[in-house]
Amino acid sequence: MVVTHTHEVATKGQGDAHDITAAVARAVAQSGIGAGTATVFVVGSTAGITTIEFEPGAVHDLNEVFEELAPRHGEYRHHLRWGDDNGSSHVRAAMLGPSITVPFKDGELLIGTWQQIALFEFDTRPRRRELVIQIVGE
């Protein structure tokens, strides 16, 4: 069985992170599928998905490392093409990846107590993000 769920998140631009664990857990519970996988996929190429202990310190630390790796005000070839200012966003998003696949059983996500599913906005402006939660199982 497959159930496709979509979820929207309004973000505030680069560095803004959202704990989407509850939304994924709710989609799994409502799907009526007992065991399987939930693939959480962000549509677009300037945001990423991972798991993290979702507290402001750890979120800040990850963003800081991305700032060193791909500085917002660095030079990017992508800027030359479109006159965009979000080369750093594309690099960060491609490195973190747009999706995560989380197992569940008895209708519950098999993740840690201090492990949350997080959307990281990397774009330089606020965005309305569409997440696809694809639930596959039985």
Residues that bind a copy of itself (CB under 8 A): 1-2, 4, 35-37, 39, 41, 43-45, 50-53, 55-58, 60-62, 65, 68-70, 76-82, 87, 90-91, 93-103, 105, 110-112, 114-116, 118, 132, 134, 136-138
Residue number with CB closer to a copy of itself (13 or 94): 94
Return the number of other C-beta atoms located less than 10 Å from residue 60's C-beta.
Answer: 12
Residue number with CB closer to a copy of itself (114 or 125): 114
H-state helical runs in the chain: 21-31, 56-69, 77-82, 87-96
* CB neighbour list of residue 96: distance below 8 Å, 6 or more residues apart: 48, 49, 50, 120, 122
Task: Give min distance, CB of 12 to a copy of itself, in A.
Answer: 19
Task: Give min distance, CB of 29 to a copy of itself, in A.
Answer: 16
d(CA 94, CA 84) in angstroms, rounded, equals 17
